[in-house]
Amino acid sequence: METPLFIRRLAIPLALALCAIQAPGFAQTFPSRPVTLVVPFPPGGGTDTGGRVIAEQLGRRWGQPVIVENKGGAAGQIGADFVAKSRPDGYTLLLGNIGTQAINPLLYPKLPYDADKAFAPVSLVAELPLAMMVNPSVPAKTAAEFIALAKARPGQMSYSSSGAGGAPHLAAEMFKDQTGAFILHVPYRGGGPAIADLLAGHVQLSFMTVLEASGHIKAGKLRALAVTGDKRVPAFPEVPTLAESVAPGFNAISWIGLLAPAGTPPEVVEKIAADLRVVLADESVKARFVGLGGVPRATSPQEFARLIDDDKRRYAQIIRSRKITIE
């Protein structure tokens, strides 16, 4: 027997009303099972390192495991696409960075997802100043000495990056533009492989987050010549900024932040953001980030969304002026 028309018409609004009633309760009980944190890069990079710090602490706070899953490739697109197409319930999250959220939409004419609509920003996690680093075999102790060396050996010096079009690549191109040093670019699939070849001496220079390189710098396996922000990094106060040493006004930093699939209930997004604020306010967590070279910083979902939009505008200007494209 067919259901009467008036009952069918009432069914949809009634279902929506029930969902609205249940949403706050769902947020209060979230999470009731393990959460997957997708890092869209290989293990060992700055995004991966920061992700493992917050995954451990959120897991403790929630009483549920937060499982870090690395899905690298295509400058972060593979992992981001996986999260974009995941169920929007808060149980699959993305640890994006300035590259995946602000730069990729400018460089790739066709992404497998709509970058402006696929995600619900949750919170910034940390600002990640970049370091200009060389293999110790390079006979340069300062940024000025490296510039002189590169100019004396045109085409013989190369630098690695975590991928074409990423924040480290753009910072290096800004450095080349402002100093006139010609250095070949060798892109890799993530910060881990890029550091590995710098450590092996296959390339001479790299711009990478202090977070992913601090252990190698402290061990003397890499030499930091400068940092790229407008302030010195607390973890390495003796290392000057490029702005104060060779490139006045130079300022380029990266960041990592937490995002959920679009359509995730706002109450769940707000709960995750609130819990992350508590985690990042913990002195031991702050110390871990600062010791690694990061600057922990929690935001509201709205503030994080504005940051992404602001960086899109800023990097659009850099990409246009340098005519940077993805081959």
Give residue 24's pLDDT: 55
Give residue 212's pLDDT: 80
Asked if the bond preceding 31 is cis, omega within 30° of 0, the reply is yes
Sequential DSSP letters for 207-272: EEEHHHHHHHHHTTSSEEEEE-SSS--TT-TTSPBHHHHTSTT---EEEEEEEEETT--HHHHHHH
Residue 269: CB partners within 8 Å, gap ≥ 6? 90, 120, 122, 260, 301
Residue 265: CB partners within 8 Å, gap ≥ 6? 23, 26, 27, 88, 89, 90
Cα-Cα-Cα-Cα dihedral sign, residues 185, 191, 196, 199: positive
Measured CA to CA, the distance from residue 97 to residue 38 in angstroms comes to 12
Give residue 25's pLDDT: 56
Going by C-alpha positions, the residue among 165, 252, 150 that lies closest to residue 209 is 252
First to last CA, the chain: 61
- Give the ranges where 96-160 is alpha helix by DSSP (H): 98, 104-107, 143-152
Give residue 8's pLDDT: 46
Measured CA to CA, the distance from residue 292 to residue 213 in angstroms comes to 8
Measured CA to CA, the distance from residue 289 to residue 295 in angstroms comes to 6
pLDDT tens track, the chain, 327 positions? 445 544 444 554 554 554 544 445 556 789 999 999 999 988 977 789 899 999 999 999 999 999 999 999 888 999 999 999 999 999 999 999 998 999 999 999 889 999 889 999 999 999 888 999 999 999 999 999 999 999 999 889 999 998 778 888 899 998 998 999 999 999 987 778 899 999 999 999 999 888 888 889 999 999 999 999 888 988 899 999 999 999 999 988 889 999 999 999 999 999 999 999 999 999 999 998 888 788 899 999 999 999 999 889 888 888 888 788 876
Give residue 14's pLDDT: 53
Asked if 80 contacts 96 with a C-beta cutoff of 8 angstroms, the reply is: yes
Asked if 293 contacts 210 with a C-beta cutoff of 8 angstroms, the reply is: yes
